[in-house]
Amino acid sequence: MLATAAAMRAMGARIERQADGSWQVDGVGVGGLLQPATALDMGNSGTSTRLLMGLVASHLITATFIGDASLSGRPMGRVIEPLERMGAAITASPGGRLPLMLRGITPAVPIEYTLPIASAQVKSAILLAGLNTPGITRVIEPIPTRDHSERMLAGFGATLTVESSPAGRIISIHGEAELKPQAITVPGDPSSAAFWLVAASIVPGSDMIVRNVGLNPTRTGVIAALRMMGADIVELDGRTVGGEPVADLRVRHAPLTAIEVPPDLAPSMIDEYPVLFVAAAFATGRTIARGAHELRVKESDRIATMAAALSACGVAVTEHEDGLSIDGSGGDAIPGGATIASKLDHRIAMSMVVAGLHAARAVTIDDAAPVATSYPRFFMSLDRLAGITGADA
């Protein structure tokens, strides 16, 4: 969030954090990002990088995108290819990686693009480029991915249509519409909630309510998988917030049973595999999760990193090219007693903290700073759950 705000400011947008914690953005209008920005430091965030590349692509801006060691190793070819088709000129480091320089163009060329991989980031990058592109820019997604961008763009008044077809979902955006300012309440992130759902499921005696969890159906794969394993998760007070379904979730400790995780859940739980692997480490039997090759190109190689982390804690893990098989403890504490390399990956750090909540010996994370990437208050919430006085969540 902070990296995105800084990058947007560098391009002329006025973005301020308010005293009540909300963000105020004074828009410059579609097409109005006029200031050339030299280096945009995107920190650790692939989403921010890929979406901003899309936004810049249809503006007369030349920007250099840089990031930390993790982000600099991640593939950007997936957005470079469609954005070049729209007319942007992009010079990337070998392998289509950061640092890269992107020269946007106005007017850009509208394209029709079928996503070769299920990626909401690629879809959103193209739609954002399409906002300032004359004509209709179209994305076809054979496998549905999270649809927050479509909901948000429609809510801001973009002319956007979504149709189903035999080829998949077709999302069309008509360029050059003016967007209307809005006040938006952002629901709680289901990816962050997943840590507490697993924590309560594995720690005996737990009974927890996680408030304000976004339950967009394109994001709820982890809840479906945990329920298949026997997790006791109940939705309370279902409502709509910011155009998204939201509920409070009550989760109680429950014995978990191993499953074969259906591969078609992958797009709706891609960021939750690390913590699902932790749940599997406490289940009875062997959990098999395959079809999640995309995990290899996240903040770290999440298949290899989680295999190493769980093995170090005494869990029997078999690594596959596209996932893991994990033999669970049957609900007992895992041995623990290891220092985990989080590899600049927030989800690894938080997942292994959760694993440490029911371990015979301490689980130590070598570097917990990356947690701030997606959940700066994670440790405050944890302290509050543990009843540590003065904690705030």
Ligand X SMILES: O=C(O)C1=C[C@@H](OP(=O)(O)O)[C@@H](O)[C@H](O)C1
Among the residue ranges 56-64, 113-121, 277-285, 308-316, the one whose residues contact ligand X (CB under 6 A) = 113-121
Q: By CB under 6 A, is residue 120 in contact with ligand X?
A: yes
205 sits in the region (left: phi over 0; alpha: psi -120 to 50; else beta) called left
Which of 189, 207, 248, 271 is labelled catalytic? 271
- Choose the contact partner of 146 out of ligand PEP, ligand X, none; CB within 5 to 8 A by kind: ligand X
Nearest distance from C-beta of residue 43 to ligand PEP, angstroms: 9
Distance CA 215, CA 306 (A): 26
Nearest distance from C-beta of residue 261 to ligand X, angstroms: 16
Contacts of 21 (CB under 8 A, 6+ apart): none
Among the residue ranges 3-11, 119-127, 220-228, 237-245, the one whose residues contact ligand X (CB under 6 A) = 119-127
CB closer to ligand X out of 297 and 385? 297
Strand, coil or helix: 286: strand
- Choose the contact partner of 374 out of ligand PEP, ligand X, none; CB within 5 to 8 A by kind: ligand PEP
CB closer to ligand PEP out of 353 and 359? 353
Strand, coil or helix: 174: strand
Q: By CB under 6 A, is residue 119 in contact with ligand X?
A: yes
Q: By CB under 6 A, is residue 244 in contact with ligand X?
A: no
Contact 164, 190 (CB under 8 A): no
CB closer to ligand X out of 71 and 334? 71
At 113, list the tokens.
Answer: 């693009």
The single residue among 270, 278, 295, 307 that binds ligand X, judged by CB under 6 A, is: 270
**What 8-state DSSP symbol labels residue 257?**
B
Kindly list the residues in this chain that would bind ligand PEP in the complex (CB under 6 A): 45-47, 271, 298-299, 347, 374
CB closer to ligand X out of 124 and 325? 124
Nearest distance from C-beta of residue 47 to ligand PEP, angstroms: 3
Is the peptide bond preceding residue 267 cis, with omega within 30 degrees of 0?
no
Q: By CB under 6 A, is residue 271 in contact with ligand X?
A: yes
Catalytic, 248? Answer: no
The angle, 0 to 180 degrees and rounded to 10, between the axes of the packed helices 221-228 and 190-202 is 20
- Choose the contact partner of 284 out of ligand PEP, ligand X, none; CB within 5 to 8 A by kind: none
What is each CA distance from 198 to 69, 88, 91, 201, 229, in whole angstroms? 29, 43, 42, 5, 11
Nearest distance from C-beta of residue 236 to ligand PEP, angstroms: 26
| DSSP-H helix ranges across the chain | 2-10, 46-57, 77-85, 120-131, 148-155, 190-202, 221-228, 273-281, 302-312, 346-356, 378-385
What is each CA distance from 102 to 37, 73, 229, 391, in whole angstroms? 10, 18, 46, 44
Nearest distance from C-beta of residue 191 to ligand X, angstroms: 7
Nearest distance from C-beta of residue 257 to ligand PEP, angstroms: 27
x-marked contacts with ligand X along 278-317 as a string, rule CB under 6 A:
----------------x-----------------------
Catalytic center residues: 271
